Amino acid sequence: MKRYPNLAEAIANTLESLRNEKEMSKSSLADFANIERCYLRDIEKGNRKPTVNTIFCLCEALQADPIDFSKRVVGEIERLRK
């Protein structure tokens, strides 16, 4: 299986960027996505990789399309590689 060494950081950066664009606090995003605040904090720190289900819940809470989210993550991976 191929490894993506910057995946957790790319997800973290993308999620934080989207959350800030929507002017949401971590606490409110966690509440809307129905996930633990500490889990969201760990995702945004790049310490945990969210499940696909969690990504969909976060996207729904952010009113973001999961495909667009994924494209932004891929762009962030490419940016971090440089």
Per-residue pLDDT of 19-61, as tens digits, reads 999 999 999 999 999 999 999 999 999 999 999 999 999 999 9
Residue range 10-20: mean pLDDT, rounded: 98
Q: How far is 78 from 38, CA to CA, in rounded Å?
A: 28
- pTM of the full predicted structure? 0.92
CB 76 within 8 A of CB 68: no
**CATH number belonging to domain 7-81:** 1.10.260.40
